[in-house]
Amino acid sequence: MNMDKNIQANALANEAVDKLKEALGGCADFDGKVILLFSGGRDSSIVASAFCQAFPQGQLHLLFIDNGNLDNTDVQRKQYELIKNLNPNSDIRFETKQVRQLMKRVAIQEIEKDFIERKFSSLLICVPCKLIMAYTALKYAKENDIKFVLDGFAIRQKKYPEQNETFINAQKNIFSKKRIKKHFTSL
């Protein structure tokens, strides 16, 4: 059973390397620096390691956005350390941005009303969270002169509103107005 998971993880890693080379390698303005919106989970960790394999001379900024909804945020730092140890020659940086107050004002303030109006059938908290993440990454990119932001999701998450094509295109449009390219990778 564990061997099957390793085979699956290796296949996903190889797929991620290919997707990253295709998405970034052909960009004339790609200077090797990217931001990866980093949750510390399996998918973003695979993309982080894949970036190091695809662009060994690149500079990877793992940007964890703490919205205040997680009990333990040490996981992300530990996962960063693991990725750094697995890729010792890569330039990997880890940054946490706190957006707890913004998340509270924008998304959580009306949560009870949202539940009641939708009769507990839908909670769209991930949509404002994703927008907050996008604007936080955009600000970080400008501050650090980075032209590329990587974001992604597992294909199993495609059913969620923040992962649909319309929402993703709206985010890309926000970034392109600031001359930053946002690439979405699904595994």
Q: Where are the domains of the chain?
A: 2-186
Closest to 63 measured CA to CA, from 99, 22, 89: 99
76 pLDDT higher than 80: yes
Phi, psi of 87 (to 5 degrees): -130, 65
| pLDDT computed for residue 32 by the predictor | 95
Q: What is the mean pLDDT of residues 2-8?
A: 58
- With a pLDDT cut of 90, the percent of the chain lying above it is 34
pLDDT, tens digit, 9 for 90 and up, residues 84-102? 999 999 999 999 998 878 8
**Distance from the Cα of residue 173 to its chain's centroid:** 17
Query: Would the pLDDT of 170 be above 90?
Result: no
Q: State in words which class domain 2-186 has.
A: alpha beta
Q: Which of 112, 110, 102, 82 is nearest to 94 (CA)?
A: 82
Q: Which residues contact 11 (CB under 8 A, 6 or more apart)?
A: none
110-168 pLDDT, tens digit each = 666 766 776 655 556 677 778 888 889 999 999 999 999 988 766 666 666 666 777 77
Decide if pLDDT at 82 tops 80: yes
Supply the pLDDT for residue 1: 45
d(CA 47, CA 34): 12
